[in-house]
Each structure stands twice: as structure tokens, then as C-alpha cells.
Amino acid sequence: MSEKALGADVYPSVTASKIRDYLTLTKPRLLSSVLFSTVLGFVLPLDNVITVLPLLYLLLGTALTGGGAHVLNQWMEQIPDSKMNRTKNRPLPMGKLSGNEALSFGIVISIAGITTLWFSLNPLTAALGILTLFSYILVYTPLKQRTVANTWFGAITGALPPAMGWAAARGQLDWEVLPIFALLYFWQLPHFFAIAWMYRDDYRRGGFKMISLADQTGRKTGLQMLVTGVLLFIASLAVYFIGQGSMVYLAVASLLGLGFLIVITLFFRDSSVENARKVFLASIIYLTVLSTVLILERFFY
């Protein structure tokens, strides 16, 4: 074997397409929502002076840690992903990256993220980052193939980023972080119930345990959406009543919450894929608008 060929085996070329594949493993769109909620937690403390450098460190550390969690999740789910239409074209099922490449990449950026949070911010933020990482890959990911309760457990992981933001800003966790934690927790449930209904055949092929698979009529799924939608509405009002939002926020939260419940009710009455997609889209609009209002209030009021 020539020296050039040997070198190619030991040091595989890093092409633009391979870089894109690595970035794809981090799930950039999902990661952006994680970062958005982290910023929300950072700006919410009323007595906090918002400074740019800690925010940048928070975004960098969270992006690396969250991206690492997404990579390791896909490394663990290569076989199920290969069976599902919505995931079979990901880099690992397609063979664009090897399992070892993904594992190494996920570990490296996860460690880099936690290190950034620890040394650039504080140990509490890093500890919450570690909790987010391990609850995602060691609790939520295995539970997806064991019990329908995985969605409720996974929502805890998804509600931790605002707590990370709060810890980065304050250096501690206060009871006032609970409403935004609850808001993110209860928002995820109807959001993911909608996804589970839209792709229930895919989830069945992948071997995942979802509430939608044991629900032929959609009544169970719809009822869960309604219950968690009401709890989401209550959590959004709690943000105002503890003084973290203005009257403008209260008006927006009320309108968005009622609108979201109306869309959920449509699914409850007619559990079609089309109505599930409406719940999914409404959930995206809800969180984006509500979070934007809260963040803008901190910067301009």
C-alpha cells in the first residue's frame, strides 16, 4: 500500500459534505429551539443585568452539549432510524458517517460544551448541562423502546435549558424559575403527541413505544393534549403573576393559549393527521411568539 493511501486510511479526508453530515447529526433546527429557551431563562431574572459575554459562553456551551446529546442519540438509534421513513436518510443510516465517527464526535463536543459551561460560567450551569445530556441519552432514549411514558420523561430534559440559562445569569436556582420550567415542560407534551400521531406508522416500524400506537381512535392522545394544553395555559399565566411579564405579555399569553386550546380541540374532535399537523404548527407558533415577547420585554422595557 502506498504512503498516500495509508495516510488516507489513517487520516480520512474532511470534505465539505462530511462537515455538513456532522452538522446534520447535531439537529440544528431542534438545537436552535433549545438555545432560544436557554436565552429565555437567562434574561428572565428580574434583578439580573444582562451582559453579552456570559450569554455568548452560555450559547456556545449549550450548543455543544445539546449537539452532542443529539449526536449520541442518533448513534444509539441507528437501527430504528434505518427503519423509519422520516429518519432513514440521516447520515448514519445512509452510511455517510460511521458509528465510530459519530460516537467520537458526540463525546468530544459534549465534553467541550460542559467544559465551556463550567469554566466560563459556573459549576451549577455545567451540572444542569450534564443532567440534560445524561437524562437525554441514558433515560429518554432507552425508554422510547420500553414505555409510552418516555414522552413525559423526555419533557423534563427539554425543560432544563431555561434552568441552565437562569443558573448562568444568577449563579443559583430560585423558585421563580419554576413557571418557565413548567411552561417548557407542558408545551412539549402536545407538541410531541402531535408528532407521534402524524408518524405513528413510522414509530411502529422503529419499535418505539408511543401513546398513539395503542390509540386507534385518537381519543387518548387528544385527551392528553387537552389536559397538558390547559396546564400549559396555567403555567404561562403564572409567569405573569410572579412578575416576570407585563400586561402585554399577559394579553399575548392569553390569546395564544386560548388559540392553542382551540386547535387541540379540533384534533380531539377529529383525530386526523391534518389536525395533528395543525397542533404541531400551532405549538411552534405559540412558543416562538411567547418567548419572543418575554425576551423583547427584558431588552426594551
Q: Dihedral of the CA atoms 51, 56, 62, 64 (nearest 10)?
A: -170
Model confidence over 28-45: pLDDT tens digits?
999 999 999 999 999 999
State the CB neighbour count (10 A cutoff) for residue 37.
Answer: 26
Whether the Cβ atoms of residue 206 and residue 261 lie closer than 8 Å to each other:
no
- pLDDT of res. 6: 34
3-state secondary structure the chain: CCHHHHHHHHCCCCCHHHHHHHHHHCCHHHHHHHHHHHHHHHHCCCCCCCCHHHHHHHHHHHHHHHHHHHHHHHHHCHHHHHHCCCCCCCHHHHCCCCHHHHHHHHHHHHHHHHHHHHHHCCHHHHHHHHHHHHHHHHHHHHHCCCCCCHHHHHHHHHHHHHHHHHHHHHCCCCHHHHHHHHHHHHHHHHHHHHHHHHCHHHHHHHCCCCHHHHCCCCHHHHHHHHHHHHHHHHHHHHHHHCCCCCHHHHHHHHHHHHHHHHHHHHHHHCCCHHHHHHHHHHHHHHHHHHHHHHHHHHHHC
Q: Where are the domains of the chain?
A: 16-173, 174-301
- pLDDT of res. 13: 58
What is the amino acid identity at position 285? I
- pLDDT of res. 9: 42
- Give the CATH fold of the 174-301 domain: Four Helix Bundle (Hemerythrin (Met), subunit A) (1.20.120)
- pLDDT of res. 147: 93
Whether the Cβ atoms of residue 166 and residue 129 lie closer than 8 Å to each other:
no
Model confidence over 248-257: pLDDT tens digits?
999 999 999 9
- pLDDT of res. 12: 52
Give pTM, 2 decimals. Answer: 0.91
Q: Which CATH class is domain 16-173?
A: mainly alpha
- pLDDT of res. 3: 42
- pLDDT of res. 105: 97
Q: Is the dihedral of CA 119, 57, 286, 233 positive or negative?
A: positive
Give the chain's residues under pLDDT 50.
Answer: 1-11
Task: Report how far apart, in Å, the C-alpha atoms of 203 and of each of 31, 85, 110 are.
Answer: 22, 10, 27
Q: Which of 164, 165, 214 is nearest to 193 (CA)?
A: 214
